[in-house]
Amino acid sequence: MKNIILTSGLALALGIFQASPSWADLKMGVAAEPYAPFTSKDASGKWVGWEIDFMNALCADIGEKCSVEEVAWDGIIPALQAGKFDAIMSSMSINEERRKVIKFSDMYYNSAPVLVGAKNGDKDFSPEHLKGKIVGVQVSTIHAAYAKKYFEPKGATLKTYETQDQVNADLAAGRLDYTLADGVTLDDFLKSEQGGCCEPKGAVPYDVEIFGVGVGLGLRQADGALQAKFNKGIADLAKAGTFAKITEAWKLTGKLRLPQAN
């Protein structure tokens, strides 16, 4: 009994026993390619965007210092599992397929998947109408999975790219007929000079099995304590109205579904 008391006292003195875990200098895995208006670099090379502002607010709320760790999108889950960073914060949708290998925080935004094509007034984007057409998608995305499930069996040809910017460039050049991607990021493209070629055809029917329940922070399966910490931070920001303020600052009000205060 005496040894137990002495050992416990020494542990407390050394700070081994803590009420909750603490992570110093958290690293957030972000896809290296631009994904405006959520994550991209400004002219000075600094990361900016709605998601970067969210990251800064979240980390301040939970009392952690966070930094961005760049990684290629198609290798982002293996990099997380290998311990190269602590969490994925790169507009990753929460679906059951991904939940088989990683866990997620609560949702921090959601937006509609939209099909975009040539500006010709043709708004028929049914799978049957896309027969014989070429649809460009970013590799390893929910949009690629959707196109493979719904468009390819009806005769569309899928072409995959490393980044959405590459998809957009080929669409503008006439080498693609359509692209399917996040409606908010495509809106940025459509407002650009390059995007003058094209128009939105519409939001595709929502398949929750593929698109999931929104975007969350991706975590290793063993990191339940960090998940709980992030979830509390997300709830705090929703209650404080921080999500609405960040969304208004990026002129995205009405375009995102945001967490609601409990």
Q: Please check whether residues 241 and 192 belong to one and the same domain.
A: no
Q: Which residues pair with 71 in a beta bridge?
A: 31
Burial 217-234 (b: 16+ CB within 10 A, else e): bbbbeebeebbebbbebb
**158, 152 in Cβ contact below 8 A?**
yes
Residue 191 lies in a domain: yes
The pLDDT value given to residue 22: 53
Q: Do 44 and 103 belong to one domain?
A: yes
DSSP string, 30-97: EESS-BTTTBEE-TTS-EESHHHHHHHHHHHHHT--EEEEEE-GGGHHHHHHTTSSSEE-S--B--HH
Q: Residue 98 maps to which CATH number?
A: 3.40.190.10
pLDDT value for 35? 94
Nearest to 26 by CA among 225, 245, 240: 225
| The pLDDT of residue 25 | 85
**Both 196 and 217 in a single domain?**
no
25 and 150 share one domain: no
In this prediction, residue 65 carries a pLDDT of: 95
CA trace torsion 178, 184, 187, 189 (10° rounding): -70
Q: What is the pLDDT along the chain (262 residues), one digit of tens a residue?
A: 333 333 333 333 333 333 345 556 899 999 999 999 999 999 999 999 999 999 999 999 999 999 999 999 999 999 999 999 999 999 999 999 999 999 999 999 999 999 999 999 999 999 999 999 999 999 999 999 999 999 999 999 999 999 999 999 999 999 999 999 999 999 999 999 999 999 999 999 999 999 999 999 999 999 999 999 999 999 999 999 999 999 999 999 999 999 998 7
Q: Compute the mean pLDDT over every residue in the chain, rounded to the nearest whole number.
A: 91
pLDDT, position 19: 37
Does the residue 147 lie in any domain? yes
Q: Is 194 helix (H, G, I), strand (E, B) or coil?
A: helix
**Is 260 part of a structural domain of the chain?**
no
Q: Is the domain of 158 the same as that of 192?
A: yes
Same domain, 120 and 206: yes
The domain of 183 spans 113-211
Lookup: tokens for 258: 């945001």
Q: Does some domain include residue 104?
A: yes
The pLDDT assigned to 248 comes to 98
CB-based burial of residue 171 (10 Å sphere; 0-12 exposed, 13-18 middle, 19+ buried)?
Answer: buried
Residues 182 and 217 in one domain: no
Same domain? 129 vs 104: no
Q: With contact defined as beta carbons under 8 Å apart, do 157 and 180 qualify?
A: no
Cβ neighbours for 58, distance < 8 A, ≥ 6 positions apart: 66, 230, 233, 234, 237
pLDDT tens-place string over residues 122-158: 999 999 999 999 999 999 999 999 999 999 999 999 9
